[in-house]
Each structure stands twice: as structure tokens, then as C-alpha cells.
């Protein structure tokens, strides 16, 4: 317990786990087996930079191996520590189980502020970190497969894949050692935006259930809903972009490291993103109200709050002041266990992290399968699908002409119908399907049991049940 009376991130995840497990009928001892983290490896290594040797500390934690490989991102941030990496690895276990991605849970981190280094320096550091993990099989297509997280992206993943290839020259499945690679380096289309896209699909699915929307005291659709998003990085940017451009939602607040922008008329997400890229922050963005104490903006009026930056931002200090009736946890662990209790009592509906940000690992799963099958999704079927559709269109047009009915297929319909699905469309379809069915499995528990009053507990129960079944099948 810290001085703020708040448990650590890992303890917070464990408390949420315990709450769900206590409502289940698990065999003695299995609960603990599932909860504990199997192993955490700490590595310290030196890299010669700017004329001196700098020592870095990194972690790779494996929470569960009921399925292998274990899966989970690598984070670059100055305050990465063992507790955080273990909490994130545990969340990966529950996340993968919930979206039925056949992986154990893992996570990695490096204590570094990537903004302090040049691109070529980051490459050197990433290569060395990857080397340390690869030589211990902590990066391996069959055992442990990283992905991007905070502070890392396609570039780092491509370097890791290349480092693995250098060290394992005859491994034909080597590309599957890491996901989130750029498409030209063995990645899959749609992975960069997958987590944000998943947040969008999660909200779309939530709004398909009027009963659930009403539980949050809201009504109608996503159209016109006022959203505040914290963190305009990979996840937050894509979620905000898709929700505003495609679903008619209004981004009325954007919170970044250096403050927050607020505009009841809605912010231009793209323009704010470009401003951050140019200046490093949101300050001086022309137009909307700017407040220096960005965290305060979490307490502003809105319909949906999307914390998409880091953990612990909604805590015992501010939970009671949060006005949003619906929170979707795009980040991992943004709501502490104590805050969760306060919000639950207030009637705030929380779409929990283990579900809300699972879009990333879902598309990572597709990428891993693509790498192992050595073929792009849709490559075999696309033209065959198109020619079968062409047959139907030809037949309809022939019938129309022969019978003199004079039907005309609209050119727009024809174009859309005739086009066979490419990789991106298949990825989106698979992601949408996954987000819908995972939500339905959570809500079934939420609505069918009187003692389950929130989606988080329901989500944990689904996941724990699946992990338990898999351990039992192994004879544990």
C-alpha cells in the first residue's frame, strides 16, 4: 500500500481478480495458480552512446503459460518497474482469454525515455535489449512474442524481428517472433490502428444494447456523444479519430502530458495531433480552452471518458469527481481498484481494459498466424470471390433484360459487391467479430447473475473460467 492509500498496479489487478474469483467455484489452489506471475526476468545491459557506456534496465515477465507462446507488448518509459510489468502481464493473460487468442500472458519494459534519444541510438538500444531476450528464448515465435506498447511502435518491432533473424538464420518461422511489424517487414495491415479500432468496435457493440446504454444513464447512439480522451498516442489518437470521423461523436476534450484542450463544439483530432507532432504538446493550439493541469480535465462533463495514456489516472483522489457516466479503459489499468469501487457505487459504467484494449492483441494474433502460414490473408480467395460475385451480377442483369423488368444495379452497389475482400477488410472483419463476441460473453454474465454488478467482474469471470478450464485440461 502506498502513502496515498492506493495499492500498487499489480495489487490493484489482483484485487480485481480476487473479487471475480470469489464469485466462482474454483478447485482449491487453482485460483492462486492463475493469479500469480510465473516468472520475471530482469536484464541490465550497457550500450556505448555519445562517448560513454550507458546502462539500461529491462524486464520481461511471463504471467501464464497455459497457452504458448506467451504474448504481450514491450513498453519504453522512464518509470517502468517490475510491479508494473507483472500487472500488465497478468492483464494480458485475462485479455487473451477473453478474446480467445490462444496465448499465455506476458509483458516487457525498458526504463528509458525514448524522447531523449536519436533514432539510431534507439535502434542500438533496442537491438541490444532484443539480443538479451532472444538468447534466453524470451523472444521466440513458439514461446514468447512481444508487440508494441507505450513508447514503442512498428520501428522497434521491425528491429526486434531483424535481430531475431540475425541470431536464428534457419528459423523459417522467425518473423512470428514479434507482432506489430510494419507490413513491408512481415506485418499485417490494420495492426497500427488495431487497438484504437478495437475501442471503437467495443463502443459500437455497447451501443447496440439499449439496456446497457441505459445502465450508464445514456440513450441513443454514438452520434453526438461528447468524448474526452486522455493521451493522443497510438491508441487514443486512433480511437478519437475513428469515433469522430465515422460515428459522429464529438471529441470535446484532449488531455496530454502538458495540459488539456477543451471545446464543447468538438476538437479537430487531426489538427491537434499535427500540433503535438510539431511542438511536442497541446499548449498554444489555437482556439479551444487550454488548462495546464490536464488531469483536472478528467473531471469535466462528458458522456464518455477514454483514458488512453497510462495507469492509475483515476484514483482515490479524483474518482468521486468523475462526471462521465461511461468510461472505456483504452489504457491498461487507468482506474485503480479503490476508484473502481467508488465509481461502481456511483453507477458509472466501466468498459474494462481487459476487453476494451484487446483489439491490439487480436490483430497481433492474426499477424502471428499470417507469419506462420507464410501467406497474406485473402490471397487465395480474393479473385475467386470476385468471379463468383460477377456470375450473380451477370445473371441478375440477364434476368432483368430477358424479362423486360428493366432493373438496374446501382454502380456503387456493383463496385462494392464485386470487390473481393483484401487483407485489411478481413482484419477489420475478424476484429469486429472478436470485439462483438467478447462483449456478449461478458454481458451474459453481467445480466444473468445478481451478484455481478459490473462488466469488469463479468470479464474477469469469463477469462478466469477459460484459463481454469485450460489448466484443468492439462491435469492441474
CA atoms of 30 and 41, how far apart (whole Å): 24
Q: Which is nearer to ligand NAD, 131 or 460 (CB)?
A: 460
Instruction: Kindly state whether residue 106 participates in binding ligand NAD, applying the rule CB under 6 A.
Output: no
From the list 123-131, 231-239, 410-418, 463-471, the region that binds ligand NAD by CB under 6 A is 231-239
From the list 97-105, 326-334, 337-345, 402-410, the region that binds ligand NAD by CB under 6 A is 326-334
Instruction: Kindly state whether residue 146 participates in binding ligand NAD, applying the rule CB under 6 A.
Output: no
Instruction: Kindly state whether residue 112 participates in binding ligand NAD, applying the rule CB under 6 A.
Output: no
| Cα–Cα distances in angstroms (integers) from residue 155 to residues 14, 149, 160, 416, in the given order | 33, 12, 9, 34
Distance of CA 410 to the CA centre of its chain: 38
CA atoms of 464 and 456, how far apart (whole Å): 12
| Cα–Cα distances in angstroms (integers) from residue 274 to residues 104, 196, 213, 285, in the given order | 37, 18, 33, 10
Instruction: Kindly state whether residue 195 participates in binding ligand NAD, applying the rule CB under 6 A.
Output: yes
> CB count, 10 Å around CB of 410?
9
Q: Which of 287, 239, 293 is nearest to 267 (CA)?
A: 287
Contact (Cβ atoms closer than 8 angstroms) between residue 441 and residue 98? yes
Indicate the helix (H) or strand (E) that contains 62. Answer: strand 52-62
Instruction: Kindly state whether residue 190 participates in binding ligand NAD, applying the rule CB under 6 A.
Output: no
Q: Select the residue interacting with ligand NAD from 230, 315, 434, 457 (CB under 6 A).
A: 230
Biggest CA-to-CA distance, the chain: 84
Q: Looking only at residues 252 through 271 of this chain, which bind ligand NAD when binding is defined by CB under 6 A?
A: 255-257
How many residues are recorded in the chain? 476
Instruction: Kindly state whether residue 332 participates in binding ligand NAD, applying the rule CB under 6 A.
Output: yes
Residue 332 CB, nearest distance to ligand NAD (Å)?
4
Instruction: Kindly state whether residue 232 participates in binding ligand NAD, applying the rule CB under 6 A.
Output: yes
Judged by CB under 6 A, how many residues of this single chain contact ligand NAD? 24
Residue 299 CB, nearest distance to ligand NAD (Å)?
14
Instruction: Kindly state whether residue 233 participates in binding ligand NAD, applying the rule CB under 6 A.
Output: yes
From the list 138-146, 158-166, 249-257, 399-407, the region that binds ligand NAD by CB under 6 A is 249-257
Residue 107 falls in the annotated catalytic set: yes
CA atoms of 310 and 52, how far apart (whole Å): 32
Binding mask 274-313 for ligand NAD (x = CB under 6 A): --------------------x-------------xxx---
Kind of pairing between the strands at 289-291 and 304-307: unpaired
From the list 123-131, 220-228, 234-242, 378-386, the region that binds ligand NAD by CB under 6 A is 234-242
Instruction: Kindly state whether residue 360 participates in binding ligand NAD, applying the rule CB under 6 A.
Output: yes
Q: Which of 234, 288, 236, 239 is nearest to 259 (CA)?
A: 288
Q: Which residues are catalytic?
A: 107
Binding site for ligand NAD (CB under 6 A): 148-151, 195, 230-236, 255-257, 294, 308-310, 330-332, 357, 360
Amino acid at each position: 500500500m502506498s502513502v496515498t492509500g492506493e495499492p500498487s498496479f499489480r495489487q490493484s489487478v489482483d484485487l480485481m481478480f480476487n473479487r471475480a474469483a470469489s464469485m466462482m467455484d474454483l478447485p482449491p489452489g487453482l485460483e492462486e495458480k492463475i493469479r500469480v506471475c510465473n516468472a520475471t526476468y530482469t536484464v541490465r545491459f550497457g550500450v556505448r552512446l555519445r562517448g560513454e557506456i550507458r546502462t539500461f534496465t529491462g524486464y520481461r515477465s511471463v504471467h501464464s503459460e497455459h497457452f504458448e507462446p506467451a504474448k504481450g507488448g514491450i513498453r519504453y518509459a522512464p518509470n517502468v518497474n517490475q510491479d508494473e510489468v507483472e500487472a500488465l502481464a497478468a492483464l494480458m493473460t485475462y485479455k487473451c482469454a477473453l478474446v480467445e487468442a490462444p496465448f499465455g500472458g506476458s509483458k516487457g519494459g525498458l526504463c528509458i525515455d525514448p524522447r531523449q534519444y536519436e533514432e539510431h541510438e534507439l535502434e542500438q538500444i533496442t537491438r541490444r535489449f532484443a539480443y538479451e531476450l532472444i538468447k534466453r528464448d524470451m523472444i521466440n515465435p513458439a514461446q514468447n512474442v512481444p508487440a508494441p506498447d507505450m513508447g514503442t511502435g512498428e520501428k522497434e518491432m521491425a528491429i526486434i524481428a531483424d535481430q531475431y533473424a540475425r541470431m536464428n538464420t534457419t528459423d523459417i518461422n522467425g518473423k512470428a517472433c514479434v507482432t506489430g511489424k510494419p507490413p513491408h517487414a512481415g506485418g499485417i495491415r490494420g495492426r497500427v490502428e488495431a487497438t484504437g479500432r478495437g475501442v471503437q468496435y467495443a463502443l459500437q457493440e455497447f451501443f447496440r444494447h439499449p439496456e446497457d446504454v441505459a445502465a450508464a444513464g445514456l440513450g441513443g447512439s454514438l452520434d453526438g456523444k461528447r468524448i474526452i480522451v486522455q493521451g493522443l498516442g497510438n491508441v487514443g489518437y486512433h480511437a478519437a479519430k475513428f469515433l469522430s470521423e465515422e460515428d459522429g461523436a464529438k471529441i470535446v476534450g484532449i488531455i496530454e502530458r502538458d495540459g488539456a484542450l477543451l471545446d464543447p463544439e468538438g476538437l479537430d483530432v487531426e489538427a491537434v495531433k499535427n500540433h503535438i507532432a510539431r511542438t511536442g504538446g497541446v499548449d498554444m493550439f489555437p482556439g479551444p480552452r487550454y488548462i495546464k493541469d490536464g488531469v483536472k480535465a478528467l473531471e469535466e462533463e462528458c458522456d464518455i471518458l477514454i483514458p488512453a495514456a497510462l495507469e492509475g489516472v483515476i484514483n482515490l483522489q479524483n474518482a468521486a469527481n468523475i462526471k462521465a457516466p461511461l468510461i472505456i479503459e483504452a489504457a491498461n489499468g487507468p482506474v485503480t481498484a479503490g476508484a473502481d469501487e467508488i465509481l461502481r457505487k456511483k453507477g458509472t459504467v466501466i468498459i474494462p481494459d481487459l476487453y476494451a484494449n484487446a483489439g491490439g492483441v487480436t490483430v497481433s494474433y492474426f499477424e502471428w498466424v499470417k507469419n506462420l502460414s507464410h501467406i497474406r490473408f485473402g490471397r487465395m480467395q480474393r479473385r475467386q470471390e470476385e468471379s463468383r460475385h460477377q456470375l450473380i451480377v451477370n445473371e441478375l442483369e440477364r434476368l432483368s433484360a430477358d424479362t423486360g423488368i428493366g432493373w438496374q444495379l446501382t454502380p456503387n452497389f456493383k463496385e462494392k459487391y464485386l470487390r473481393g475482400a483484401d487483407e485489411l477488410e478481413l482484419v477489420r472483419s475478424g476484429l469486429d467479430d472478436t470485439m462483438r463476441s467478447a462483449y456478449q460473453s461478458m454481458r451474459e454474465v453481467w445480466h444473468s447473475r445478481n451478484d455481478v454488478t459490473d462488466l469488469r467482474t463479468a470479464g474477469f469471470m469469463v477469462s478466469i473460467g477459460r484459463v481454469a478450464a485450460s489448466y484443468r485440461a492439462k491435469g492441474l
